Chain A
């Protein structure tokens, strides 16, 4: 039977299943599930409600920032400053509340700080053409230093009149005993997923990562969008900082030290491509989950904690290896 042009054009090459099996995120999900099953069988401590509560909550801080980082990485950029921005936002919140202001003022100040830093990064990158790596490396140093200046390098653990509200915000479990940070993460992941898939802004982010020159030629406001993604990344770090402050009940200038690497690892494991143009909200969450499950399991299995880096590094390489293998097959 002859195939007409219209039939060819209307044909879908990929079914939903073929697309799922071809995605790196899917295999990372399988890895997480297998690890959980393995740990439930081999250890008594894993499948307890207390441990699961801890794991899900620990995932959240990296996961929330990874959601913001996903925007940046899809455009082909990188944000190394998120760990320091988390620290600075936490510190601004802590210092403001410690000075007697309400939690609302504290959160507002903290978010405003994060957004200002993101805008600063973004303007240097988008309008002055600085390399993202350099700008955010500089900000990594600047933001942490500012946190030390703001607190005079002390530990803040008294948050003024709204002290209890802040602790409840981060440490509570208001719905069905699910830790609050987990709820925030789910909400933010849904928003991120929606923006990436269903909005013009999301589409343009992918276009910039795919071919920035083409995006410019077709009238995409490339510079404004780049500023926006660095603001989103800093905002995510700020939100994570506020929640983490509520959970820990204290802020030190060490908070979030080295976190940028965990966050980038999570996004890459979840399927984002550092060259730009690829990434999902779900991937960022799953990547963060795999890292946390690895950390948790090493402890439960009695493996020396010094081995943690080896396993997490191995997971990064494995995840990217899957991607390479798929590409080799396609190129042949």
Chain B
């Protein structure tokens, strides 16, 4: 698809925007006869928190898995910073600056916070094949990231001794190791206490303040209206709403999720 065509697509034209960090154009995904995601276009700007809402089976996870490199779109294109983005594996998404905080956080309880932050990309020192883990550098950098996140998390502590909020901080710290451009968070506030939810929402604001775009997949209306700038609602594979938080309301979003309100675009 040429750039001229792309400019005429709905969702990408209209009011003047910043250059989108991630742009999806007419993305569809079907599994056999099942249409999981149907003709979705959206653009996400740097430093923007986007709440992605929808009932179970609405296509949120499928959409996110395409951005994360788990699935190939059946139709449509993805662009990152204006360049076409084709992902074959989750590792490639990470190389492009797309980081994912999984719903179960993907933490190893038996390792320290720093070890978890650096899992899969450990720092080493030495020459050639004789390279050993650089504990000091990993503790130091992990500590700096926790300080940036304003989280009371000690790099040397084992994750199994940590609170839900600290565990979230460890998972989020991973996304800050490299120059992440966009962070996808899958239900980060689903199973933690009220106080820890506040901690996590603060972590999201810190990511935003550094110019990182955050996609927050959530069922919890208050969280999305607290932290997000924009809300996208999906129902039965289609995007049925994409508007700023200020111009929407929890009642409207509930109506959109359930189908009481058909569509507001």
Contact = CB atoms under 8 A, between A and B. Distances in A.
B147 interface: yes
A214 B107 contact: yes
A206 B157 CA distance: 16
Given A11-B154, A12-B156, A203-B133, A220 B110 contact: no
A5 B147 contact: yes
B107 to A, nearest CB: 6
Given A8-B154, A206-B111, A210-B111, A218 B132 contact: no
B154 A220 contact: no
A219 B118 CA distance: 11
Contact of A199 (B132, B150, B153): B132
Contacts, number: 82
Nearest to A220: B120
Task: Tell me the dominant secondary structure on chain B's binding face.
Answer: loop
A207 interface: yes
Contact-size category for A: 20 to 34
B106 A217 contact: yes
A9 B155 contact: yes
A9 B109 contact: no
Task: Tell me the dominant secondary structure on chain A's binding face.
Answer: helix
Contact-size category for B: 20 to 34
A211 B119 CA distance: 11
Contacts of B133: 197-200, 203
Interface string A247-287: 00000000000000000000000000000011000000000
A304 to B, nearest CB: 41
B101 to A, nearest CB: 11
Contacts of B157: 13
B147 A6 contact: yes
Interface of B: 90-91, 94, 102, 104-111, 115, 119-122, 124, 131-133, 143, 146-147, 150, 152-157, 174
Q: Top 6 closest A-B pairs, CB basis?
A: A210-B108, A277-B110, A214-B106, A218-B120, A219-B120, A210-B110
Interface of A: 5-6, 8-14, 197-200, 203, 206-207, 209-211, 213-215, 217-220, 277-278
